[in-house]
Amino acid sequence: MSYSFLQLCEEPRIMSKPLILVTNDDGITAPGIRNLVEAVSSLGEVIVVAPDQPQSGQGHAITIEQPIKLHKVDVFDGIQSYRCSGTPVDCVKLAKNVLLKDRHIDLCVSGINHGSNSSINIIYSGTMSAAMEASLEGIDSIGFSLCDYGFDADFSAAKYYAHKISSKVLERPFGACQLINVNIPKGSFEEIKGIKICRQAKGRWIEEFQESEDPRGQKYYWLTGRFVNDDEGEDNDQNALKNGYISIVPAHHDLTHYPSIPQLKHLEDVS
């Protein structure tokens, strides 16, 4: 196959209106997803499938023990939208396999999350897991998060960059890796210094369960904690954010720790 033929094959896809799937984990009524829909609506045909209630911290959970409901809603002007009773990953599975069956999805954008998904937060995040699920299906995917947990957070810079980055990815699709984790620092547009392509920082949570008693006198625990970053490298996402940059981490789902394969050969001798 000649290069010119490949060019001809690819051109119609570039020229046609891209199909963009939007989802999140804060629920379909969150300000973050409204800003994301507005950010990408001029870039193609948009369909929204998002949880009907907040699903933060759902990680890569899927609903297998019960049925999932999907309801068409009219919350974004002129945009086909559905609220889903399942997890963020369920939303992507239903969009891909039920609503958009047989259609090529050019891009999946997830967010804009209310709060950071940098460093180790990627593995707890429903926003990032939804984007990862789309990437598993071969769809270029972006998770956007604003490092501000407030409901009234200022999304103007995040929205601007979500538009710009999504547009750039549509123009030049990803290669080997089909997922990026984009975190935008809290603050005004003018405060953002630029964008850095990073690796995931080696951060961790120090858990401090709040312990109390319910009205029947039964003890309960409520998860809380604080994030610490022990990673002093300059090339990690936490460092970029700390210095006022948007961080972009290319991510994937192969969890193999390759350097350990030769080191664990002695375990083959168990008998």
Chain positions 215 to 254 lying near a second copy, rule: CB under 8 A, are 218-223, 248-254
* Least Å from the CB of residue 237 to a second copy: 9
- Considering only residues 75-104, where is the footprint of a second copy by CB under 8 A? 87, 89-90, 93-94, 96-98
Query: Per CB under 8 A, does 19 bind a second copy?
Result: no
Q: Which of 87, 89, 51 is nearest to 71 (CA)?
A: 51
Residues in the chain: 271
Among 10, 11, 191, 207, binds a second copy (CB under 8 A): 207
Tokens 């870039």 correspond to what residue? 43
Whole-number minimum distance, CB 270 to a second copy, in Å? 4
- Per CB under 8 A, does 72 bind a second copy? no
CB nearer a second copy, residue 129 or residue 183: 129
Query: Could you give the C-alpha distances from 89 to 8, 65, 137, 154, 208, in angstroms and in order?
Result: 35, 15, 12, 27, 28
Of 12, 67, 215, 217, which lies in the binding site for a second copy, with binding defined by CB under 8 A?
Answer: 67
Minimum Å gap between C-beta 25 and a second copy is: 11
Residue 150 CB: number of other CB atoms within 10 A? 11
| AA identity, residue 75 | V
Min separation Cβ 87 and a second copy, Å: 8
- Longest CA pairwise span in the chain (Å): 75
Q: How far apart are CA 237 and CA 141, in angstroms?
A: 18
**Residue 211 sits in the site that holds a second copy (CB under 8 A):** yes
